[in-house]
Amino acid sequence: MHSQQPVTVIGLGPMGQAMALALLGHGHKVTVWNRTPSRADALVERGAVRAASVEAALAASELVILSLTDYDAMHTVLEPAAGALPGRVLVNLSSDTPAKTREGARWAAGHGATLLAGGVTVPPSGIGRPESSTFYSGPRAAFDAHRPVLEALTGTDYRGEDPGLAALFYQLGMVMFWTSMLSFWQAVALADAHGLSADDVLPHAVQTMSSMPDFLSFYARRIDAGEHGGDVDRLAMGLASVEHVLHTNADAGVDTALPAAVADLFRRGVHAGHAADSFSSLVELMKRPPAWPGGKPGARRPRDGV
Ligand code: NDP
């Protein structure tokens, strides 16, 4: 029923190109527009229609998929063509903050369009695979109406009406992805200082990362129950351990920014009186950081007047 539905794709970086290809593969009439027109060439050869302008791209389909660097790019592209927005459903799969996403949804509504926000959790190679997943949020009716087409891109994971939710879930993944990958780069740099290659330490790295799901489940339950008792681990022990990590990296002459930041958090937890608690107590510190350097966690600056 949906196979011939027209779809417009605006933004043809690696992600937008993969999306347009997947939609063509499902038999949709795909109209494309990109700031740098030559990036549409290969898609046009595969059957996509190149729109001569953003207005023409918007006019071609009710469903418009945006795959741009961020929401600022959306405004740059769409504001001059705002007259063509009424009645469009914009599925913005560009990543940004929840606040920018909500503001973008309000802006679209103000111009008569509906914005569904998305957060793609896979690289371009994962597009076109049902086992891949994308977070969506925004008006449920618009999501339900266009879900069959969106499933040509990846599996769908609708998180709720608030347009910021898809961006939030995306960012939850990214904060873990970037810090986890940097932790691997740190280990590789340390190994290199000792004459070992990334490949040499890979099995140990994989084994260490593979143990994480058990830690996450164990601590998530305790955190939600407000349990930070030192029955399993103690923050004071953790601080000694992260100091060893910091000194091992310093001794090797590699960059210490990451282990120093970790040690700093542990030290602040001990100074806040949690030495005998679990290191999960750091979550409470992170929820309510001091408002100024040296301030007590959760305290307000004196000049706030309260
Ligand atoms: P790119 O940065 O490679 O492509 C960005 C696209 O945005 C290009 O089409 C570019 O046009 C366009 N663009 C950027 N700024 C402007 C502007 N001011 N005016 C007009 N057009 C503009 O990104 P990707 O394709 O890799 O990713 C797209 C989105 O998907 C991003 O938000 C990214 O975070 C997200 N994402 C990407 C993943 C990945 O692995 N690539 C994974 C998950 C999410 P031009 O060609 O003219 O430069």
Calpha distance 92→116 (Å, rounded)? 6
Query: Of 62, 66, 63, 36, which Cα lies nearest the Cα of 50?
Result: 36
Residue 172: both structure tokens together: 């939850």
- pLDDT for 294: 63
Provide the residue range defining the domain that includes 84. Answer: 6-163
Residue 156 lies in a domain: yes
Residue 215 lies in a domain: yes
Q: State the pairing for strand pair 129-137/89-92.
A: unpaired
Write phi, then psi, for 174 (nearest 5 degrees): -70, -35
**65 and 196 both lie in a single domain:** no
- pLDDT for 58: 98
Write phi, then psi, for 301 (nearest 5 degrees): -60, 140
**92 and 131 both lie in a single domain:** yes
State mean pLDDT over 130-141: 98
**153-172 residue pLDDT tens:** 999 999 999 999 999 999 99
78: alpha, beta or left? (left if phi > 0; alpha if psi -120 to 50): alpha
**88 and 215 both lie in a single domain:** no
Banded model confidence at residue 304, pLDDT cuts 50, 70, 90 = very low
Domain limit, last residue, from 163, 183, 200: 163
Percent of the chain residues topping a pLDDT of 70: 94
Q: What is the DSSP string of 137-186?
A: ES-HHHHHHHHHHHTTTEEEEE--S-THHHHHHHHHHHHHHHHHHHHHHH
pLDDT higher than threshold 80 for residue 49: yes
**293 and 206 both lie in a single domain:** yes
**114 and 222 both lie in a single domain:** no
Banded model confidence at residue 4, pLDDT cuts 50, 70, 90 = confident
Residue 1 lies in a domain: no
pLDDT higher than threshold 90 for residue 19: yes
Terminal CA-to-CA distance of the chain, rounded, Å? 61
Whose alpha carbon is nearest atom 1 of ligand 1?
A: 13
Do residues 90 and 112 touch, judged by C-beta distance below 8 A? no
Reduce the DSSP state of residue 84 to 3 states and report it.
Answer: helix
Do residues 275 and 236 touch, judged by C-beta distance below 8 A? yes
**165-195 residue pLDDT tens:** 999 999 999 999 999 999 999 999 999 999 9
**24 and 158 both lie in a single domain:** yes
Number of domains composing the chain:
2
pLDDT higher than threshold 60 for residue 145: yes
**177 and 284 both lie in a single domain:** yes
Gyration radius from the chain CA atoms:
24
Separation in Å, CA 176 to CA 99, 169, 180, 182, 261: 20, 11, 6, 10, 15
| Whether the CB of 4 sits within 6 Å of ligand 1 | no
State mean pLDDT over 59-69: 98
**129 and 203 both lie in a single domain:** no
Query: The domain spanning residue 98 has which CATH number?
Result: 3.40.50.720
**65 and 187 both lie in a single domain:** no
Query: pLDDT averaged over the chain?
Result: 95
pLDDT higher than threshold 60 for residue 2: no
**38 and 159 both lie in a single domain:** yes
Domain limit, last residue, from 163, 183, 217: 163
| Whether the CB of 8 sits within 6 Å of ligand 1 | no
Residue 294 lies in a domain: yes
Banded model confidence at residue 248, pLDDT cuts 50, 70, 90 = very high
Cα 160 → chain centroid: 17
- pLDDT for 61: 98
Query: The domain spanning residue 223 has which CATH number?
Result: 1.10.1040.10
**253-301 residue pLDDT tens:** 999 999 999 999 999 999 999 999 999 999 999 998 776 666 665 554 4
Secondary structure element (H or E) that encloses residue 114, with its range: strand 114-120
Dihedral sign for Cα atoms in the order 143, 91, 87, 22? negative
Calpha distance 163→302 (Å, rounded)? 36
State mean pLDDT over 50-75: 98
Q: 254 C-alpha to center of ligand 1: Å?
A: 33
Could you identify the atom of ligand 1 that is nearest to the CA of residue 36?
47
Residue 97 lies in a domain: yes
Banded model confidence at residue 20, pLDDT cuts 50, 70, 90 = very high
Domain limit, last residue, from 99, 132, 163: 163
Q: 140 C-alpha to center of ligand 1: Å?
A: 26
Percent of the chain residues topping a pLDDT of 90: 92
**147 and 174 both lie in a single domain:** no
Residue 249 lies in a domain: yes
Residue 274: both structure tokens together: 């949690």
| Whether the CB of 129 sits within 6 Å of ligand 1 | no
pLDDT higher than threshold 50 for residue 41: yes
**25 and 157 both lie in a single domain:** yes
State mean pLDDT over 110-129: 98
- pLDDT for 303: 44
- pLDDT for 1: 42
- pLDDT for 301: 46
